[in-house]
Each structure stands twice: as structure tokens, then as C-alpha cells.
Amino acid sequence: MTTNTHQHEDSMSTATPPRAPHSDAPAGHRSEESRVGAGLFNPKQLVKSLPDAFRKLDPRVMAKSPVMFVVLVGSVLTTASSFVNPGDRFGWTISAWLWLTVIFANLAEAVAEGRGKAQADTLRRAKTDAVARRLLGECEEQVPGAELRVGDLVVCEAGDVIPGDGDVVEGVASVDESAITGESAPVIRESGGDRSAVTGGTKVLSDRIVVRITTKPGETFIDRMINLVEGAARQKTPNEIALNILLASLTVVFLLACATLTPFADYAGTELTLVVLVALLVCLIPTTIGALLSAIGIAGMDRLVQRNVLAMSGRAVEAAGDVSTLLLDKTGTITLGNRQAAEFVSVRGTTEAEMADAAQLSSLADETPEGRSVVVLAKERYGLRERHQGELAGAEWIQFTAQTRMSGVDTGGRKVRKGATGSVIAWVEERGGTVAEDADATADRISKAGGTPLLVAVEDDRGARVLGVIHLKDVVKDGIRERFEELRRMGIRTVMITGDNPLTAKAIADEAGVDDFLAEATPEDKMSLIKREQAGGKLVAMTGDGTNDAPALAQADVGVAMNTGTSAAKEAGNMVDLDSNPTKLIEIVEIGKQLLITRGALTTFSIANDVAKYFAIIPALFSAVHPGLDKLNIMRLASPDSAILSAVIFNALIIIALVPLALKGVQYRPVSADRMLRRNLAVYGLGGLISPFIGIKIIDLLVSLIPGIG
């Protein structure tokens, strides 16, 4: 019963360094601006990325996308055919639009990469070649930062730029990390804790620290960030590779189908030129998703970067979308982390007003969050005006000590004390006072409910006596229960991890609405829990910041390390949250799901497009030879040539039209998988079927006006 009370009172007396502002804060100013930009599509990006789109016409680059490589080969063949027949206006027009199709596909990828390159340029400007003060025994020597090796000790004082990634092994300092996080507020870095990691290129603002270098030159955190946000280090994910194989297979099938049309046409007495066959093939293969697939993956990682989360691989982003179990720390994630006064419980014979007055008075000199919350509760719930120490001139303030485990004030012949249950009861009994029978019972009830009891006692002309109990509780964050309900609808199980005893853990878990909890958790317990979940075929995500979290972060499918944490934690995880906000794990899962949904939706749209284009082109192509097919030409396209050209133009334009959706992502809603499937089929499946008929018909009306084609 007294364990939590001791913890509270110890916190009143121990001077702790300021906590890093990123721990609970949202992303910094730069991140907010970037986030807005991430949700919008700027047409200027198309023009800016156009040179990169032309550079990607290199066959070695195009070969990475089988579908678009086929379109590139088809463009070359139709262009060569047009040179053979220079008067063929239809051939030249088809060739031009096929080249535009390839360029538009490259443009989608170039725009996605371009946003990352802009961020990389910012990071490069932040990267400086600092001169390091390397320690050699008791002496210092100045060496270029590029010459530092793993294990070197360097000294950094106020005004120095930290020359490389490392861990603080001596001292405590305030560090400006705005170059990395975009947050202008400094953070505290100190030795011996979970906030010991420092990043090369950041600046020391105060005091002196000794840093042990943990990375080689060129492999620092900033270097890895530059490579990742540029897309240079992006590798295709397993799902992306599988989808590429499917698209390649469909391309082969349609290639064979188009090849067999030639003998059928010969038998029917009509002629299908190379230009017509290539155009027909390009319209039937899944060019839409083939063109946008890479851009979707890059944009998914970019959305994480906009939220100040650095994903070490696309695989991690994709895995986040398939996560079925979330492991969340209690303190700072589910709860605010600072216990707050929730109620004043007076004992028999004492009024609530008297109890509240004494509780407020005893807390005026208590500058801890708990003490401040007592003053606020007395003011808000009982209407007591907040008194200041200056109004109590001559009062003797009793500071908390580890020996007394109490604090309070002596004023005007009245003594008020607040503290641990056993200590306050002993203080009252020493003065011959009385302890109400329900005081200890109330404290036990609060402890069993997961709270922390603090007794309030007074000694005045009526003698010494206990007035009541202050109920401190770890306050669950507003809206967190609703977030967990959303995750439950998504099919994700939430598990709260805490070092609290099972009674306290259960009380918090019930209030927060998590599915399960792990109390008195050790690193081994976390690892065992992750392995059990994975053995059941589930993907697990968790956050951590300490060296003791590293094994579990490495074992988890999605391990999000806090930037304020140790180097070991950041090396073990496959994501790093630059804002060190543990609740961001929920956002990461949503971004991963949005990536998968976007890829699935555009794949559905692309395949439905191909089906529609097939029924739009083939009847118009053969209706002249087989008049019976004219009944299937429901769009009444002007001629076979205009039908093919209209389909090719629509095929190119739909790619550029879908670029904003590929970059922004399909809006995610926390609904069940079957409802999501029905929605995607209704919106993107049906939309993919209808849009080609409308688009091709409109283009055909315009194309039919062109002499020599219509």
C-alpha cells in the first residue's frame, strides 16, 4: 500500500532535470507546415520534377517496372514505324501519346521523390563538418569530425556542434535539435539514463558533456535520414514485389492475346498494323497501377517523414498497416504521466470544506505537478481561492524529506501535514491525537483502485487528528479510450505495458479501455509477450526508448524508438520518432493502413479500367468486318482509329489525374475489412468501370474532328 506513496513523495523532494519537450509535444513548426503540404498537391511540383522524369527514361531504370518497360518498348516500336511511314498521322499521334504515358508514369515517381529531396536538402544544410575536441586521457586534441572513430570520447560545451552520433557518458546539457526535429525548444541530454543519445550536427546550448561516438563518419543519423527521405535507400516491400509479379503476369497474358489477334484479323480479311497492336496492348495492360505503384510506396514513407517519423525501410511502413497487436507503455502514452488529485475524501466528523482547505494549505509550497493539482482541485471543486505563500507571512513551511515523508505548514498556532499514510498517522499519534477508523480503510480502497493515497492531518486547539485522504490518480489522456475503440474496429488488439502492480494496472486498463495489460513488466516479459503474439501469426508493434527496450524493439515487427532514447534503442527499432511522442504509434499504424488501402484501391481501379477499355475498343475495331459486333459498340465511337487513339489518350491522362491521389493517399476510416472492401469496390471498382466509357467518349468526339483520323 505504501509503495506508490513513497514514489510520490520522493518525487516531491528530488530535483529532476527538465523533461525533453518532445516527449509529449506534437511535431514542431516545420513539421506542421510540411504536414499541410503533404496533404495537398501542388501542380508546380510536376514542372519541377519534369527533368527527373526524362532522366528516368533510361531502360535500366524502366526495367524495374515491367509494365512501364513494355510501354517504353512499344513507344520505340511505334516511333520507328512512324519513321518508316512519315505520312501516317495516326501513327505519329499514337507514338506521341505513348511517350507521354511513359513520361507521366516517371513524373509520378519523380514528384514523390522530389518532396523527399527537398527535405534532404534541408538536412544537408544542417550537416556541418564540426571540429571535435577528442579526449586522450586527461588531454584534449582538436581533430576534424570526419576523423572520429567508434569509441572515441569528445568534449562538447556551450556553443559547440556535436561532431557525431553518440551517447553522453558524463554530464548533462541542453541541446538544440531543431535541425533534426524542426522543434525550436531545446532538449535535455544526460548520462546514465534513457535520454543519453545525441545526434551529430546538433548544438549544445549549455553546460558540458562528454560523448562517446557510436557511428562511423558517413553513417550518422543525418546521413541515414538524407538517404531515406531521398528514396535512395528505399527497397521494394514484399507486397509491392508480389504485386509487380502479378502485373507482369497480366502483361504477358495480354501480350499473348494481342499477338493472336493478327491471325484472326488476317482470317477476317482486315489488317492490324504494328501501331494498332501496340496501342491495343498498352490500353489493356494495367498501366495505371504500374505507373503509380512506386509513387504510392514513396509517398507512404514521405507521410511518415511529414510527421517526424523516420522509417528505416518501406517494409516497416507496410508492416505497420498489417499490425494486429499494439504494445503501449502506460506512462506518457495512455496516461499523462503525472498523478493528479482526483478527489478529497473526508473522514467521519470532518466536513469536506475543512478537508479541502487543509489540503490546499499544505500544498502551497509543493511545486510538484501533484501538489499543484491539489491546489487546483480545491479551487475548482470547492471554490477555495488560491492563496499564495506571501499572504501567509511568518508561516513556517515544512519541506518534504525522505525521513519524514511529509510536508506542510505551521501558521497561527495551526499545524497542517500531508504525506504518506504511515507517516501522517504516526505524527498524529505522537501528539496524542486520534485517527478515524475509516482513514486507513479509505487509503486501502484508493490503493486497490490503482490510486495513490495521501493523508491530511491538522493540529490546532482541538488537538491532532486526521481530516481525510487525497486521492491521487494517474490521469488517462482525453480521447484515448475513443482511439482504442477505433483500433478495436480495425481489428487491432491493444496491450498496456506498465511496471505498476496488477491492481493499479487493471484500474488504468479498465479506464483507458485497452484489451489487455502486462503489469510489473520486465524486458524479458516484453520479449515473451511479443514472441507469443507472433507465434499466433500476428504482427506486433511497440515503442521504446531505453537500452532495456532494445531486444523487444528488435523482435517486434514494427519497433518505434524514441529520438530521445539511447543509441541501442534507435539501432534496434525500424522506425525513429523524432518528436519522441509514444502515442504516435497509433498514427503510424493508420499511415501503414492508408498505404495498403491506397495501393489496393488504385489496383482495383486500374484493372476495372482495363476491362472497360477492352469493351470500348474491340467492338469498334472489328465492327466494320463483323457488323454483328456493332451491337456491342455501345459508345458509338466514330471509327476504329478514333476509338484506339481515344483509349490511348485516356490511358495517359488518367495516370496524371491520379497522381494527387497516389501521393495524398486514399482517406482511411477505421472500419471492418469487409466494409472497407465493399467501399473500395463501389468507389474504385465501379468508378474504374464507368470512367473509361465517359472519358473515351468525350475524347472520341474531339478526336473525330481531326482530319485524317476521325
Which residues are designated catalytic?
329
Output DSSP code: residue 14. Answer: S
Please give the span between the terminal C-alpha atoms of the chain, in angstroms, as a whole number: 89
Give the whole-angstrom CA distance, residue 283 versus residue 637: 16
How far apart CA 557 and CA 128 sit, in angstroms, is 34
Would strands 325-329 and 540-544 be described as parallel, antiparallel, or unpaired? parallel
401 appears as a binding residue in the annotation: yes
Q: Tell me the C-alpha distance between 257 and 673, whole Å.
A: 35
Q: What is the 3-state secondary structure (H, E, C) of 563-600?
A: CCCCHHHHHHCCEEECCCCCCHHHHHHHHHHHHHHHHH
- Residue 457 bridge partners (DSSP): 417, 466
Torsion of the alpha carbons at 632, 636, 640 and 641, rounded to the nearest 10:
-150
Residue 587, annotated as binding a ligand: no
Q: Is 496 annotated as a binding residue?
A: no
3-class DSSP state for residue 331? Answer: strand
**555 known member of a binding site:** no
Strands 516-518 and 540-544: unpaired
Question: CA-CA distance, 439 to 311, in Å (whole number)?
Answer: 53
Q: Long-range contacts: 43-51, Cβ < 8 Å, 24+?
A: 45/111, 45/114, 45/115, 46/107, 46/111, 46/656, 46/659, 48/114, 49/107, 49/110, 49/111, 49/113, 49/114, 50/107, 50/110
CA 45 – CA 118 distance, rounded (Å): 11
**Is 404 annotated as a binding-site member?**
yes
Cβ atoms of 251 and 285 within 8 Å: the answer is: yes
Is residue 407 within 8 A of residue 396, CB to CB? The reply is no
- Report which of 488, 489, 483, 481 is spatially closest to residue 512, judged by C-alpha positions: 481
Q: At 538, phi and psi to the nearest 5?
A: -100, 150
Residue 548 and residue 545: Cα distance in Å, rounded? 8
C-alpha angle 324-327-328 in degrees, rounded to nearest 5: 130
Which three-class secondary structure string do you get for 52-119? HHHHCCCHHHHCCCHHHHHHHHHHHHHHHHHHHCCCCHHHHHHHHHHHHHHHHHHHHHHHHHHHHHHH
CB atoms under 10 Å from CB of 631, counted, come to: 9
Residue 58, annotated as binding a ligand = no
Residue 537 carries which side chain, given as an amino acid letter? G
Q: Are 704 and 642 in contact (CB under 8 A)?
A: yes
φ/ψ of 83, rounded to 5, equals: -65, -35
Between CA 411 and CA 418, with CA 417 as vertex, the angle to 5 degrees is 140
- Is 549 annotated in some ligand binding site? yes
Q: DSSP of 603-616, one letter per residue?
A: HHHHHHHHHHHHHH
237 is in an annotated binding site: no
Alpha helices in 134-286 (DSSP H): 178-181, 221-230, 238-268, 274-284
CA distance 621 to 270: 10
- The whole-angstrom separation of Cα 406 and Cα 363 is 11
Query: What is the rounded CA–CA span in Å between residue 573 and residue 556?
Result: 8
Is 402 known as a binding-site position? yes
SS3 state at 235: coil
User: Count of alpha carbons within 13 Å of 273, Cβ hemisphere only?
Assistant: 17
Grid cell listed for 403: 525521513
Residue 405, annotated as binding a ligand: yes
Residue owning grid cell 496516461 = 335
Strand partners, 327: 495, 542
Q: CA-CA distance, 280 to 618, in Å (whole number)?
A: 9
Q: Is 406 annotated as a binding residue?
A: yes
Taking the CA atoms of 669, 674, 677 and 678 in sequence, report the sign of the dihedral they define: negative
Strand partners, 415: 410, 459
- Which positions make up the binding site for ATP? 366, 370, 400-407, 418
- Which positions make up the binding site for Mg(2+)? 545, 549
- Which positions make up the binding site? 366, 370, 400-407, 418, 545, 549
